[in-house]
Amino acid sequence: MGTRFRLFVQPPFEDPRSNPEIVEVSSPLGSVTAGPADDRMFVVKPVGKTGPYGVNRGPLGTPYMYLPPWTGKILKPATPDACGNFDYLRPSMAGFEAAHVFGCVRFTLDVWERYLGQPLTWHFRDHYDRLEISILRRWDNAQYGYGFLEVGSQFESDGRVLPFSLDFDVIAHEVGHAIIFSVLGVPHPEAEYPEYLGFQEAFSDCVSLIAAMHFPSVIDNVLAETRGNLYRANRLSRFSEFSPHRQIRSANNKRTMAEFARGWKYEHELSQPLTGAIFDILVDIFHESLVARGLISHAVEDLADVAEFGPAAEAPVQHAFDRAFARNSDGFVEALLDARDIVGTYLAEALWALAPDFLDYGDVARTMLAIDQDESSGQFARIISRNFRRRAIGEMHAGPHLKGGEHHSHVHSARTLLPIDYLELPKMTFREKVLLSRSGIGQ
C-alpha cells in the first residue's frame, strides 16, 4: 500500500469550488515521516530565511553562493497519522501546505518515473542525498536548483497572498526541471543554445500537463467541457506560472520559430512553439485513436484539422464531437489516456536520447521521429513531422538573447548553478564574512 495525500489539481485561489482530492502515491505506507520526509526528499518551512538559494549579495555587496542545507530553525513539520497517511490534513490545518508540496512532487515523480522506466537519480547526488523542498511564503517565485526546490507566493495588488505550495502546475513544472537536469544533464556554459532554455520550459510544461492528466477528475472535466474537441479552450491547455508576475501560457497556441529568428527575450515565450507542437501531436494522436475505435470518422478528423485554423469549421466540428461523445464517452476516455501515454513515453525516451550541449528544437523533432519508428514502426511519423514543420521547428532557429528580458530569464540563475561555480565569484573579505554570519543568513 502507498501513502495517501490530499492534492488540489486546481488551486483554490483560481477556482473557489476546487477541493483537494485524495491520491495514493508510491511511497510505501510508513516510509514517509514527519516533514513530510523520506529517503529521497524532505519539506521544511524555514524560520528567518530571508532569501532563496542561488547567488546572493553579502552585507557589503559581494556576491556569494548560497546552497542547501538550511540548518536554522523550522516551523513544526507535518506528521502522518497512526497509519502513516497524510490525507487527514485539511487546507485549514497547519501542516497541510507542507504535505501538499511533498504529495505533488511525489505524484509527479511517480508518473514520470513510469515513463522513464526507472527511479530518478538526482543530478546533485554527488553532494546531497535528498532534495530539500522549502516553503518561503514571502518570496515571489518558485525554482528548482542544485539540491533544492523552493516555492514562494504570488502577491496580488489587492493584498492577497497566493501560495505556490497549493498550485500543482507550478510544483510539477519545477519537478520537470529536476527531471531534465537529472536525465539530460547540464550543458557546458559555452555549449548552451537558446533553444535548450526553451526546451527546459516546454518540457517542464509537458511534465505538468501529462501529470495532471493522471487525475481522473481532469480527464472527466476536460471531456465534459469539450466533448473531445481539445482545441476548444479548456483547463488541459492552460498553464499558470508566476515568475515573478502572473503569466498564463497556453499549450494550444499558434506561435512559430519565425517569431524568434531575430532574437528573443523570455525563454517562456521561446518555449511556446515547441510546447504547441507537442500539444498538437497529442491531440492528433487522440483523434487517430478515436478514428481507430470507430468513434469519429476520417471526415470529422479532417474537419477538426481545418477548424484549428479556420473558425468557420468550428461549429460543425463541435456538433460532430458532441454527438460522438454522447454515444460512447468511455471510448473517448480510453483514447485520450492512450494519447497521453504515447506522448509521455516519447518525451521520456527523447530525454534519454538527447544531449544538453548544442541542443535545439530540431534535435527534439528528429529524436521523436526516431522513437516513433522504434516504438510503432513510424505509425505517427506523419503527425509528428507535420506539427513540427508547421512551427518551422528544425527549419528556423532562435536568434540572440535581446536586452530587456534579463529580469525574467533563468539564464545564469540558481537553476543552473553548480557548486564549482563559486570559483568564478570574487572573494569576500573577512569583515564581510563576519557580518554575514551575524546576520543569520545561510544558517
Count Cβ atoms below 10 Å from residue 264 Cβ, excluding itself.
23
Per-residue confidence at 155, pLDDT binned at 50, 70, 90? confident
pLDDT tens, 49-78? Answer: 888 998 888 888 888 888 899 989 999 999
CB 229 within 8 A of CB 318: yes
pLDDT at 240: 47
Strand stretches in 243-381, DSSP E:
246-250
Q: How many helices (H) and strands (E) does the chain have?
A: 12, 12
Q: Which of 38-47, 101-110, 232-241, 289-298 shows the lowest mean pLDDT across its residues?
A: 232-241
pLDDT at 236: 64
pLDDT at 13: 83
DSSP string, 266-295: -HHHHTHHHHHHHHHHHHHHHHHHHHHTTS
pLDDT tens, 189-238? Answer: 888 899 999 999 999 999 999 999 999 999 998 898 889 988 776 666 66
What grid cell was written down for 426?
570574487
Nearest C-alpha neighbor of 250 from the set 273, 267, 228: 273
Q: Where are the domains of the chain?
A: 9-183+412-439, 250-390
Cis peptide before 244 (omega within 30 of 0): yes
Separation CA 342–CA 374 (nearest Å): 13
